[in-house]
Structure formats: C-alpha cells, structure tokens
Amino acid sequence: MGVGADVLDILKKPMAVSGPWDEIRLRHSPLGPKAPLSYRWFVLTLDLLYIIGAIDMDDDLIRLMLTEISLKNGRGPGFLIHDGHLFAGVDERQLAKALQLSAERAKTLGFQYIVTMNPDALPRAGVTPGFDISPYVMDASLSGTS
C-alpha cells in the first residue's frame, strides 16, 4: 500500500502522461532510474487502486500512460483498444479531449488507437477547432445475418 499511496500523491499534480512512472521510479530508488520497483509492480498497484475505487478510468489517461510506458520500454502490442463503455457517463467535452489526446499521442508515438462506439456517441462539443475526427471513423454496420 506504500506504493499505492505514492501513486495517489503523484496523480494529484498535473504532469505528462508518462510522468507517474518516472516519478515513482525516482521515489523508490536511491540510484535514480535503475529502480528496484518493477514496471509490473507499478501496473499491479494501478490495478489495485482502480479495483478499490481510489482512481478511476473515466478518462483514458491511465491506460494511455501505460501504453506509452510500454512502448518506451520496448514492450506492448503497439495498439490501445477501448470499448465505448469506458466513456459511459463521461461529459461530452471530456470525451472529446480524451479521444483527441489519444489520437495525437498515437500518431506521435506510432501506435494504433482503437475505440469501439456507436457513431451517435461521438462528441460534438469540446473538440478543439481544427481537429477533424472523420479520418478516425470507420463506417461499419452489423446485422444478425451472416
């Protein structure tokens, strides 16, 4: 729980998406970046904090951060997938910011970001002027027949 308390303390202040991992490594290592705290332990801590409700995923920043850290460490599948239910109950402006940030980070870091959601759930408010969501939308339809 000591690591969890540190993570909660770190998440109180604004920082870059990969900041919490870098900060927790520095806090838990007298040697700096060669931290005795493993990445797996950090992810496990985030999972536990999520399970007990200490952090939530109403925006996808935690998962985005983990994807960035994985890529930085040469791990991960090279994509991040979210089901639209992750954003259930999230304000339309927050959803717009989360989708836009994820799209921009995916482009910058070279991973694929996939969200499955109904087109009517796409945000209309809160999108930064100049950001066009249409290239990210695939026209797909499902039917009960094969």
Quick one: pLDDT at residue 1?
58
Q: Please state whether the predicted TM-score (pTM) of the whole model is above 0.75.
A: no
DSSP calls for the chain: -HHHHHHHHHTTS---TTHHHHHHHHHT-TTTTS-SS-HHHHHHHHHHHHHTTSS--SSTHHHHHHHHHHHHTT-S-SEEEEEGGGGTT--HHHHHHHHHHHHHHHHHHT-EEEEE--GGGS--SSPPTT---GGG-------S--
Quick one: pLDDT at residue 82?
76
pLDDT in tens, the chain (146 residues): 577 888 778 777 666 656 777 888 788 776 555 557 777 787 778 777 777 767 665 445 667 777 777 777 787 788 888 777 767 777 778 778 878 888 888 888 888 888 888 777 778 777 788 888 778 778 777 677 75
Quick one: pLDDT at residue 17?
56
Quick one: pLDDT at residue 58?
47
Per-domain residue ranges for the chain?
Answer: 1-56, 58-137
